[in-house]
Amino acid sequence: MSFSSLKKSSGSIAALTKELDKMSKGSGGNGPDERLWKPEVDKAGNGYAVIRFLPEPTGEDLPWAQIWSHAFQGPGGWYIENSLTTLNQKDPVGDLNRTLWNSGLDSDKEIARKQKRKLSYYSNIFVVKDPLHPENEGRVFLYKYGKKIHDKIVEAMKPQFQDETPINPFDFWKGADFKLKIVKQDGYWNYDRSEFASASTLGDFDDDRLEEIYNSQYSLADFTAQKNFKSYTDLEARLNLVLGKTRTARVQEEEEQDPVFNTVTVAKEEPSFNTGFGSSVESMKEEEDPDLSYFAKLAED
């Protein structure tokens, strides 16, 4: 979509609400990604920033990318991978969890819960205010967020009450800044107090500046490109290794040297390495949402 076409459609949310309805019915890299912006908290565990969600990039249909992933630890290490269910394909963890969930055993269901999918979204944003890192202000970044923030976007577009006016948070002219408010609760970041401001043109900028911002966006379609997902066979091999069903050459050698050696040493601390678009085990703990629909689907299959 060209910038001029984007302005003509300003204020319209029909296409996005249609996509939200569709989603509601069924729903690897090394080192940090410099394109990604991440909020931070102060020593008291509180964080504040103001961001603006941006429209879909040129040639793309949606202003967000939706990614399912897994992150859990087994006797053979960590399994941290994008899920093929993102692409509507079968995934080995999903197949295993289905078997566990349908066994009828509470112990199996608990294992399935620990191995469940996590949902993440990526959008382009314009950083309006970042008190802890003012150098980020006035720049375009990618922002990874979870279900809670996405729910607030949905609420803005599809308000529950008649006296509330729906807005398209991704609109340059009739959208709204998002006030990101973080408090630490029970060791996790909580976003419940975050909210959208009143509708306004981003930064009161003229169209020339808005077009410059529009052309500075990053592709979102790249997140769901096949290249970012391992094959079923490769994922299954990794899963078997993590679950201890496959022994590495190192383990086999140690077993041969020491007959009583029959376990794999597991690190007590969670790794801090990054995987896939800058995600990490640490960041995955920021926002935990029970994926009840996932388990309901497992029971049906």
Alpha-carbon distance 101 to 112, whole Å? 6
Predicted confidence band of residue 38 (pLDDT cuts 50, 70, 90): very high
Tally of structural domains, the chain: 1
C-alpha 176, offset from chain centre: 22
For residue 262, pLDDT beyond 80: no
pLDDT on residue 298: 58
For the stretch 130-177, pLDDT in tens is 999 999 999 999 999 999 999 999 999 999 998 999 999 999 999 999
Beta bridge partners of 279: 275
For residue 287, pLDDT beyond 70: no
For residue 253, pLDDT beyond 90: no
Predicted confidence band of residue 259 (pLDDT cuts 50, 70, 90): very low
Domain extent at residue 252: 3-300
Mean pLDDT calculated for residue range 78-100: 97
Alpha-carbon distance 252 to 65, whole Å? 42
Four-CA torsion 104, 106, 111, 114, nearest 10 degrees: 120
261: domain CATH number is 3.90.198.10
Backbone angles phi, psi at 139, to 5 degrees: -120, 160
- Dihedral sign for Cα atoms in the order 237, 242, 245, 246: positive
- Which string of DSSP letters, residue by residue, matches the chain? --HHHHHHTTT--HHHHHHHHHHHT----SS--TTEE-----TTS-EEEEEEEPPPPTT-S-S-EEEEEEEEEETTEEEEEE-GGGGT---HHHHHHHHHHTT--HHHHHHHHHT--EEEEEEEEEEEE-TT-GGGTT-EEEEEE-HHHHHHHHHHHS-SSTTS----TT-TTT-EEEEEEEEEETTEEE-TT-EEEEE--GGG--HHHHHHHHTTPPPSGGGGSGGGS--HHHHHHHHHHHTTSS--HHHHHHHHH-TT--S----SSPP--EETTTEEHHHHTS-----HHHHHHHHH-
Predicted confidence band of residue 279 (pLDDT cuts 50, 70, 90): very low
> 269 vs 59, which has greater pLDDT?
59
Mean pLDDT calculated for residue range 230-252: 82
Mean pLDDT calculated for residue range 59-70: 96
For the stretch 215-237, pLDDT in tens is 999 999 999 999 999 999 999 99
Task: Using alpha carbons, list the distances in angstroms from residue 174 to 32, 52, 149, 207.
Answer: 33, 12, 19, 13
For the stretch 179-223, pLDDT in tens is 999 999 888 899 999 999 999 999 999 999 999 999 999 999 999
Return the structure tokens found at 77. Answer: 């290490």
Mean pLDDT calculated for residue range 37-53: 95
Share of the chain above pLDDT 90, in %: 66
- Point out the least confidently predicted range of 6-10, 201-205, 293-297: 293-297
Alpha-carbon distance 279 to 28, whole Å? 9
The pTM of this model reads 0.74
